[in-house]
Homo-oligomer: A and B are copies of this chain.
Amino acid sequence: MSPSQSAATGSREPDIASVDTVDAWIGAAIRPLGAEPVAIGEASGRVLAAAVRAGRPLPHRDRAALDGFAVTASHSIGAAAYNPLSVTGLAVAAGDPMPPDMDAVVPLGVAEAGGSHDVLLVEPVAAGANVEPEGVIAIAGALLAPVGTRLAPRHIGLLAAAGIAEVAVVGRPRVAIMLVRRLQGLEDSNGAMIGAAVRRDGGRAAAPVEVSGGRQDLAGALAAAEADLVLMIGGTGPGPDDHAVAALSDAGELAFHGVAMRPGETAGLGRTKSGIPVVLLPGGVAACLWSYEMVASRALRRLAGRGSDLPFDRRRMMLERKIVSAIGFTEICPVRFGAREDTVEPLPSFAEIGLMAAAAGDGFVIVSEGSEGHPPGAAVDVYLYESFPGDRQEKRAPR
């Protein structure tokens, strides 16, 4: 099963690569896409391609800091409980611009509304009281959000409040998904799964396309791809009908075939002659998902300007039972929550029960190449499928 057995494909393979080596190649060979402008209302989830600075002070004019009546402070001089003064007062809400010539706000409950535009004051008001002056939050030119920020609702609100209508964001990578149809009659279960994962990672996934035939047909499909990233699924093994690896050699550059990870060891990586990165994903469903997570999703996040780490929250937890792993392979070991809040227990491996190991689990542990595993009681980094603590709590309850 090792890639060195794949002489049948006719191509000369480099040795099996470590996950770190593959990561380094992705970091060096793939650059984030260029910037594109988007309206602020459409920018949530996108990554800033340039820092955003305030084009004007924030607030950009003096405004009321709370609900009440705007007044002119100098008119209140002399007001007292025994000498109530009636002054011109205009109702304002927090955030309203201050009316001309008015420089203080008297809170509701302190002033008493007199006539239609009058309030009765029983104490003097200082100029500037309860007024948020122009520029107090940010001066013009202040940094509102640095380059690389992944815009969330809070950023959208701040930028919109600063009068910014459009921002420059990293483009959304177009991802072509090719399903190698090696046998008639086999159902595909990878296209929908990988399409969902691509969308999760900020990519635009075109509908999966089936490609069939031999080495030349596959190479032709790769050469004709119009995308920022190609994922070719299936045909990565060493069998005589597996042509994906040789096809990538023909269509451009095969950087790696064989990644020292389980599941997913027959994954491959390279690029076409026109420079489009290509990830070859094994056709077995668990191997397909994990080679996506460990290789393809890093390439995609790199294109999209996102961070390189896996999109799962990581937490330090304690193993209830040992995990055994083969030296020389980065192994993905499924776990589920244990008896205590800070413990996890290993589940049967992906090799044994396929994606049931993921569906039944709460997360996974990555055992690195150089490790034989971990003893019971060891503290390990657990990657959690659900980022939301509440969902985890509810999931725990029925056990």
Nearest CB in chain B: distance from A360 CB, A: 9
CB-based nearest B residue for A65: B351
A-B residue pairs in contact (CB < 8 Å), sample of 19: A1-B67, A1-B107, A40-B192, A93-B182, A94-B282, A94-B287, A95-B284, A108-B239, A113-B240, A137-B353, A150-B391, A152-B200, A153-B193, A153-B194, A153-B289, A154-B359, A156-B196, A158-B285, A163-B187
The segment from A209-217, A247-255, A323-331, A382-390 that touches chain B is A382-390
Question: Could you tell me the distance between the alpha carbons of A187 and B285 in the complex, rounded to whole angstroms?
Answer: 51
CB-based nearest B residue for A183: B96
Asked whether A152 and B394 contact (CB < 8 A) given A237-B94, A288-B157, the answer is: no
A18 part of interface (Cβ distance < 8 Å) = no
B41 in contact with A161 (CB, 8 Å): no
A238 part of interface (Cβ distance < 8 Å) = yes
A387 in contact with B193 (CB, 8 Å): no
A93 in contact with B158 (CB, 8 Å): no
B108 in contact with A388 (CB, 8 Å): no
Partner of A154, one of B1, B307, B309, B358: B358
Residues on the B chain within 8 Å of A103, using CB:
none
A160 in contact with B289 (CB, 8 Å): no
A380 part of interface (Cβ distance < 8 Å) = no
Asked whether A156 and B193 contact (CB < 8 A) given A309-B393, A354-B161, A390-B309, the answer is: yes
A199 part of interface (Cβ distance < 8 Å) = yes
Partner of A190, one of B66, B138, B157: B157
Question: Could you tell me the distance between the alpha carbons of A92 and B359 in the complex, rounded to whole angstroms?
Answer: 27
How many residues belonging to A are interface residues under a CB distance threshold of 8 Å? 95
Query: How would residues 161 to 197 of chain A score, 1 for a CB under 8 Å from any chain B CB and 0 otherwise?
Result: 1010000000000000000001100111111111111
Residues on the B chain within 8 Å of A163, using CB:
187
- Residues of A355-394 at the interface with B, using a CB-CB cut-off of 8 Å, are 355-356, 358-359, 385-391, 393-394
B356 in contact with A158 (CB, 8 Å): yes
A122 part of interface (Cβ distance < 8 Å) = no
List 15 extra interface pairs beyond A153-B197, A153-B200, CB under 8 A: A1-B66, A41-B192, A44-B199, A58-B354, A91-B239, A91-B240, A95-B283, A156-B196, A157-B190, A157-B288, A158-B285, A158-B355, A160-B188, A309-B388, A314-B389
Question: Could you tell me the distance between the alpha carbons of A251 and B135 in the complex, rounded to whole angstroms?
Answer: 40
Nearest CB in chain B: distance from A120 CB, A: 15
CB-based nearest B residue for A389: B314
A109 part of interface (Cβ distance < 8 Å) = yes
Question: Could you tell me the distance between the alpha carbons of A398 and B143 in the complex, rounded to whole angstroms?
Answer: 14
